[in-house]
């Protein structure tokens, strides 16, 4: 690389600066602060560079860093760091979400401990209290992100309740309201009787639960029918029984009434298509005030909705059940029905799906109430079309099906919450029933009888604006012009519906049809080393900070990146983090070696004519790896990027090239100089390629190696186009030969360090230029006068003769060679048979036939070699 910026310390420091082991704890903290102080992560809206923006999926202000964040942040950080190095104006937009219910719950719990409640405080004092909580203990995650090395533009940090973002919320609310896309209506909503608020459909989690299905006789004698229910207590609010219009069994009852047990009411029997005659008795009790389906039936038949529970899910209906909680009421009602002999069947346990509040796990109570809604039809249509038209790409593609399935079948979105912490709905009600929606620059109506809506908005309403509200919208700021739309959204598939789809809807709506991002890259969930979901209750949850303390942030990051196959869950275990730590240490020591041997990045690369085959080989491979890395990054293949670099660095550079270069360095002279420059180049590029994933260790090493200011602002390597197939073949042959002799040595029980006299006949073979290296790698001494070969290994046309002084038993080697010979002969038979197959030759593509030919040739060569080796083995 030629763009190394020299810092004040000169070309490079003495290798003695580097201890034999990498100590991340000493490096990471100060290094991160230096990056931030120098403003590397800040993004300039006025820059001439092309933009590359990613927003952070805003963590809850109540949250602290877990492995899921660490994972997601590693991916986003790697993407933005690479783009920054590629010369883009890279922006990783940080910030947090006010997390309505979650935060309110936290502060309410705090108040409960103090023996008070939000109701004692009142709305204003309570919200002040929440702000105070945020100032004191909120946003722990920001500090933890520094530990991870997240390269975010801290000066741009935003909070969804900031003034600017509140303005954005108010603006879009007003616009949607004026466009008729926000309305108020009374419907059945999901009600949490503990949080005392409405929830949207996706904030409800369904779980199989054992309940009881009781069949109850309504009415008397011939005019009776049996309905089944798992929620007996709601019968107090029944206002009809429904049957299918074509159901012969009940035709005579349709239009008539039956008496509702335990009450003095008679309720009509109605015919409705919704009823499945196959299910149960084919007759359904209808409770319009407490069941969404029943509500619809009620609407179709003009039935009254009779509410029998209050917001705490306590029975309000007059009579013996009044004041009972819904569960108490259920058994009481069943008991009373049983006493009247009206229970005709009971099924217990009866497993069925029950909805729970995603925040507090309380069972949801469907409840009739007046709420605010977003009419999602047109918005969702646009959100779907943007993906269908290819304006936005979802990665991996399989997730598109899920996206369409949701976006195309969306119910209206209930956006009002009966909470105090959040964006208060900007609507005022007048004394004569007027409703006025107030924009951000308008004075709310004042005077006798006017008051503002008390509900706040769903948290996801404001996070849906995140990609543009953080950039200053509704103002047309330079940042908005520059960084909208974002390049890509990186997030988990679990919030595809919660968040991604909403950003799509709002982004397209607010920004005149421009989607919020061009690509949606969905990642999986972090799991434990057995692929199990991590959870506190299961006891397998890990605090990422512990692992960062023990092994360094780079080790954690590398492990996560290495597991990141698109859209697939990522298992992680401590062993794997250790392995990554080992890799970081290996990089560290390889660089130490290079520094101790005069590796340099100074000056231009020598002419290839001056280089050894090993030099040309590694540079050829290096450039191939640069090209591969780019292709993989552009496809969000983080696991493969990491794996490619891991193997290239460790296997090829550190094991082979470094070992080969030792001979060169020992010899000194021009060849050593050339190799030193090549090694410097290779390390320089490898460190750059690794930097996005393991920023700390690479920056530390790179600045030492090159004297440059920082890898964060260094340039990303480009494939120079240099390839040398001949050198790659030559070194390949060398590797095979060395491995073959090593295997022989190992089989013979020779200790790795033991020097063995040997005579090498390499002239005229591809190995001719490598005698010194081969002797060094294989610990072969020059043969003395009394040399007598006891074993001779033919490899690649050359011959390596070893003097083993007759001390070795050759039986094992004979057995192994015989086994290999059999395998080679089998291969020969198979390939020959294949090449004799006319159908194969006629239909298989040329490259496959060539490959089989090559395999046959290899098998033949192997047989010859092994036979020769057996020949040379002493008998006995």
Least distance from C-beta 429 to RNA, angstroms?
Answer: 31
- The tokens describing 181, both together, are 């896309």
| Sheet with 283-286: strands ordered across | 257-259, 266-271, 240-243, 283-286
Instruction: Give min distance, CB of 370 to RNA, in A.
Output: 20
Region binding RNA by CB under 7 A among candidate stretches 26-34, 151-159, 277-285, 608-616? 277-285
Query: Per rule CB under 7 A, is residue 154 in the interface with RNA?
Result: no
Region near RNA per CB under 7 A, out of 58-66, 153-161, 680-688, 848-856: 848-856
Which region, judged by CB under 7 A, interacts with RNA, from 72-80, 102-110, 356-364, 735-743? 735-743
Interaction of residue 812 with RNA, rule CB under 7 A: no
Q: Are 43 and 157 in contact (CB under 8 A)?
A: no
Pick the binder of RNA from 497, 558, 617, 636 (CB under 7 A): 497
Which residues between 344 and 403 bind RNA (CB under 7 A)? 352-353, 398, 401-402
Exactly one of 640, 688, 770, 865 binds RNA (CB under 7 A); which one? 640
* 3-class DSSP state of 529: coil
Q: What strand order describes the sheet that includes 486-492?
A: 393-395, 517-523, 486-492
Contact with RNA (CB under 7 A): which of 851, 861, 864, 874?
851
- Of 51, 138, 151, 282, the one binding RNA by CB under 7 A: 282
Residue 836 in contact with RNA, rule: CB under 7 A: no
Of 185 and 718, the one with the shorter C-beta distance to RNA is 185
Q: How far is the CB of 40 from RNA (least distance, A)?
A: 26
Phi, psi (deg, nearest 5) at residue 200: -80, 165
- As measured in angstroms, the least distance from the Cβ of 568 to RNA is 4
> Is residue 245 involved in binding RNA (CB under 7 A)?
no
- Residues numbered 461 to 490 that lie near RNA (CB under 7 A) are none
| Number of residues near RNA (by CB under 7 A) | 92
User: Among 541, 855, 860, 872, which residue interacts with RNA (rule: CB under 7 A)?
Assistant: 855
Using CB under 7 A, which residues numbered 192 to 231 contact RNA? 201-202, 206, 213, 227-231
**Of 529, 788, 822, 829, the one binding RNA by CB under 7 A:** 529
Please state the closest distance from residue 211 (CB atom) to RNA, in A: 8
Q: Is 27 in the site for RNA (CB under 7 A)?
A: no
Helix (H) or strand (E) holding 345: strand 343-357
Judged by DSSP in three states, 478 sits in helix
Collapsed DSSP state (helix, strand, coil) of residue 607: coil
Element (H, E) at 756: strand 756-761
CA distance 40 to 713: 7
- Judged by CB under 7 A, the residue of 37, 248, 341, 530 near RNA is 530
Is residue 537 within the footprint of RNA (CB under 7 A)?
Answer: no
User: What is the per-residue binding string for RNA in 293-322, x denoting contact by CB under 7 A?
Assistant: x-----------------------------
Q: Closest separation between CB of residue 555 and RNA, Å?
A: 8
Q: Determine if 328 is a binding residue for RNA (CB under 7 A).
A: no
| Binder among 99, 258, 270, 852 for RNA (CB under 7 A) | 852
Binder to RNA among 90, 658, 758, 804 (CB under 7 A)?
658
- What residues between 738 and 757 interact with RNA by CB under 7 A? 738-739, 742-743, 746-747, 749, 751-753
Burial 301-338 (b: 16+ CB within 10 A, else e): bebebbbbbeeebbbebeeebeebebeebbebbbebbe
The correct pick among 385, 659, 728, 860 for binding RNA (CB under 7 A) is 659
Burial of 61 (0-12, 13-18, 19+ CB in 10 A): buried
Only one of the segments 163-171, 541-549, 605-613, 851-859 lies at the binding site for RNA (rule: CB under 7 A); that segment is 851-859
- Per-residue x/- track, 86-125, RNA (CB under 7 A): ----------------------------------------
Rounded-to-integer distance, Cα 71 and Cα 638, Å? 11
How big is the chain by its Cα radius of gyration, in Å?
37
> What CA–CA distance (Å, rounded) separates 633 from 77?
13
In angstroms, the CA 639 to CA 524 distance is 12
Q: Does 35 bind RNA (CB under 7 A)?
A: no
Query: Any contact of residue 654 with RNA (CB under 7 A)?
Result: yes
Q: Under rule CB under 7 A, which residues in 758-787 are in contact with RNA?
A: none
Asked if 814 touches RNA (CB under 7 A), the answer is no
Angle of CA points 710, 715, 720, to nearest 5°: 140
Residue 302: helix, strand or coil by DSSP? coil
Q: Is 533 or 815 the residue whose CB approaches RNA more closely?
A: 533
Residue 158, beta-bridge partner list: 95
The alpha-helical segments, DSSP class H, found in 446-570 are 459-463, 466-469, 478-483, 501-510, 544-551, 553-562
Position among 217, 527, 621, 865 found at the interface with RNA (CB under 7 A): 527
CA–CA dist 223, 65 (Å, integer)? 63
Tokens of 835: 């090449």
Nearer to RNA, 403 or 461 (CB): 403
Measuring CA to CA, which residue among 132, 193, 448, 143 is closest to residue 315?
193
Q: Describe the crossing of helices 846-872 and 811-835 by its angle, rounded to 10 degrees.
A: 150
Applying CB under 7 A, among 212, 346, 569, 761 the residue interacting with RNA is 569
Q: Which CB contacts under 8 angstroms, 24+ apart, belong to 494-497?
A: 494/525, 495/57, 496/399, 496/402, 496/403, 496/406, 496/522, 497/202, 497/406
257 binds RNA (CB under 7 A): no
Window 692 to 731, contacts with RNA (CB under 7 A): none
**Do the beta carbons of residue 439 and residue 62 sit within 8 Å?**
no
- Contact region with RNA (CB under 7 A), list: 89-97, 387-395, 793-801, 845-853: 845-853
598 lies in the binding site for RNA (CB under 7 A): no
Nearer to RNA, 230 or 715 (CB): 230
Among 7, 50, 273, 279, binds RNA (CB under 7 A): 279
Least Cβ distance, residue 473 to RNA (angstroms): 29
The minimum distance between CB 656 and RNA, in angstroms, equals: 7
Given the complex with RNA, which of 527 and 621 has the nearer CB atom?
A: 527
Tell me how far apart the alpha carbons of residues 485 and 51 are, in angstroms, rounded to a whole number. Answer: 10
Which residue in 347, 586, 799, 825 binds RNA (CB under 7 A)?
586
CB 601 within 8 A of CB 1: yes
Does residue number 277 form part of the binding site for RNA (CB under 7 A)? yes
Angle between helices 613-634 and 67-85 (to 10 degrees): 120
User: Judged by CB, which is closer to RNA: 341, or 752?
Assistant: 752
Regarding 638 and contact with RNA (CB under 7 A), the answer is no
Closest distance to RNA from the beta carbon of 72 (Å): 17
* 671 contacts: CB under 8 Å, gap ≥ 6: 612, 664
Count other Cβ atoms within 10 Å, centred on residue 261.
20
Of 90, 80, 89, 87, nearest to 695 (Cα)? Answer: 80
Work out whether 808 is an interface residue with RNA (CB under 7 A): no
- Tell me whether residue 2 or residue 529 sits nearer to RNA (CB atom): 529
Q: Is 266 in the site for RNA (CB under 7 A)?
A: no
Given a contact cutoff of 8 angstroms between Cβ atoms, the answer to whether 209 and 237 are in contact is no
**Structure tokens given for 98:** 């006010």
Q: Which of 655, 728, 860, 867 contacts RNA by CB under 7 A?
A: 655
Comparing CB distances to RNA, the nearer of 318 and 755 is 755
């Amino acid at each position: 690389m030629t763009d190394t910026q020299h810092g004040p310390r000169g070309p490079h420091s003495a290798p003695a600066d580097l201890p034999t082991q990498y100590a991340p704890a000493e490096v990471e903290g100060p290094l991160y602060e230096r990056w931030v102080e120098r403003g590397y992560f800040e993004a300039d809206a006025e820059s001439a560079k092309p933009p590359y923006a990613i927003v952070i999926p805003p963590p809850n202000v109540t949250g602290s860093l877990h492995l899921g964040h660490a994972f997601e942040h590693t991916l986003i950080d790697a993407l933005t760091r690479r783009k920054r190095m590629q010369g883009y104006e890279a922006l990783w937009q940080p910030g947090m979400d006010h997390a309505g219910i979650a935060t309110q719950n936290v502060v309410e719990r705090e108040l409960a401990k103090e023996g008070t409640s939000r109701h004692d405080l009142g709305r204003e004092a309570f919200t002040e209290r929440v702000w105070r909580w945020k100032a004191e203990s909120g946003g722990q995650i920001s500090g933890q992100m520094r530990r991870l090395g997240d390269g975010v533009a801290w000066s741009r940090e935003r909070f969804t309740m900031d003034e600017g973002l509140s303005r954005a919320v108010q603006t879009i609310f007003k616009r949607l309201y004026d466009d008729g896309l926000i309305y108020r209506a009374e419907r059945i909503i999901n009600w949490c009787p503990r949080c005392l608020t409405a929830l949207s459909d996706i904030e409800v989690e369904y779980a199989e639960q054992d309940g009881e299905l009781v069949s109850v006789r309504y009415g008397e004698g011939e005019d009776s029918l049996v309905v089944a229910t798992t929620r007996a207590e709601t019968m107090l609010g029944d206002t009809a029984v429904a049957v299918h219009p074509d159901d012969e069994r009940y035709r005579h009852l349709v239009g008539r009434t039956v008496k509702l047990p335990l009450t003095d009411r008679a309720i009509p029997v109605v015919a409705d298509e919704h009823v499945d005659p196959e299910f149960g008795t084919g007759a359904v009790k209808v409770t319009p005030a407490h069941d969404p389906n029943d509500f619809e039936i009620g609407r179709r038949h003009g039935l009254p909705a009779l509410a029998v529970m209050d917001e705490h899910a306590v029975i309000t209906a007059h009579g013996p059940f009044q004041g009972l909680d819904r569960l108490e009421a259920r058994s009481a009602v069943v008991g009373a029905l049983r006493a009247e002999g009206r229970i005709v069947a009971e099924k217990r346990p009866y497993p069925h799906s029950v909805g729970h509040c995603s925040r507090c796990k309380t069972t949801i109570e469907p409840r009739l109430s007046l709420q605010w809604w977003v009419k999602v039809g047109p918005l969702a249509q646009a959100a779907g079309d943007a993906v269908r038209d290819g304006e936005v790409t979802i990665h991996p593609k399989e997730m598109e099906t899920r996206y369409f399935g949701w976006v195309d079948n969306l119910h209206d979105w209930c956006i009002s919450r009966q909470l105090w912490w959040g964006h208060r709905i900007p609507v005022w009600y007048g004394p004569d029933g007027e409703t006025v929606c107030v924009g951000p620059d308008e004075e709310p109506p004042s005077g006798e009888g006017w008051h503002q809506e008390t509900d706040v908005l769903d948290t996801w309403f404001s996070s849906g604006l995140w990609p543009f509200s953080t950039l200053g919208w509704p103002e047309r700021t330079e940042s908005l012009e520059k960084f909208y739309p974002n390049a890509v959204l990186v997030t988990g598939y679990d919030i595809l519906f919660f968040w991604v789809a909403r950003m799509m809807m709002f982004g397209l709506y607010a920004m005149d049809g421009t989607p919020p991002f061009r690509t949606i890259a969905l990642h999986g969930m972090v799991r434990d080393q057995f692929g199990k979901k991590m959870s506190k209750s299961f006891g397998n949850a890990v605090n990422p900070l512990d692992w960062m303390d023990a092994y360094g942030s780079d080790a954690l990051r590398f492990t996560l990146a290495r597991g990141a196959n698109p859209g697939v869950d990522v298992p992680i275990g401590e062993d794997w983090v250790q392995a990554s730590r080992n890799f970081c240490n290996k990089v560290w020591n390889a660089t130490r070696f290079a520094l101790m041997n005069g590796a340099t990045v100074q000056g231009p690369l020598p002419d290839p004519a001056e280089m050894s085959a090993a030099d040309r080989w590694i540079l050829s491979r290096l450039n191939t790896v640069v090209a591969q890395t780019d292709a993989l990054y552009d496809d969000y293949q983080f696991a493969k990027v990491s794996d490619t670099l891991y193997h290239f660095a460790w296997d090829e550079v550190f094991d082979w090239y470094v070992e080969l270069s030792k001979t060169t360095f020992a010899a000194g002279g021009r060849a050593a100089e050339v190799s030193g420059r090549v090694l410097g180049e290779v390390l320089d590029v490898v460190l750059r390629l690794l930097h996005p994933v393991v920023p700390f260790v690479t920056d530390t090493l790179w600045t030492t190696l090159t004297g440059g200011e920082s890898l964060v602002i260094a340039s990303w390597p480009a494939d120079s186009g240099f390839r040398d197939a001949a050198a790659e073949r030559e070194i390949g042959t060398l590797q095979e030969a060395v491995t073959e002799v090593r295997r022989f040595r190992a089989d013979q029980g020779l200790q790795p360090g033991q020097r063995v006299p040997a005579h090498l006949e390499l002239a005229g073979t591809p190995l001719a230029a490598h005698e010194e290296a081969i002797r060094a790698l294989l610990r072969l001494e020059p043969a003395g006068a009394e040399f007598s070969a006891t074993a001779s290994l033919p490899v690649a046309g050359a011959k390596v003769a070893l003097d083993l002084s007759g001390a070795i038993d050759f039986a094992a080697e004979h057995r192994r060679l015989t086994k290999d010979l059999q395998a080679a002969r089998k291969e020969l038979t198979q390939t020959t048979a294949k090449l004799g197959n006319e159908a194969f030759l006629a239909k298989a593509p040329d490259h496959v036939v060539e490959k089989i030919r090559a395999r046959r040739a290899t098998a033949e060569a192997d047989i010859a070699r092994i036979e020769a080796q057996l020949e040379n083995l002493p008998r006995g």
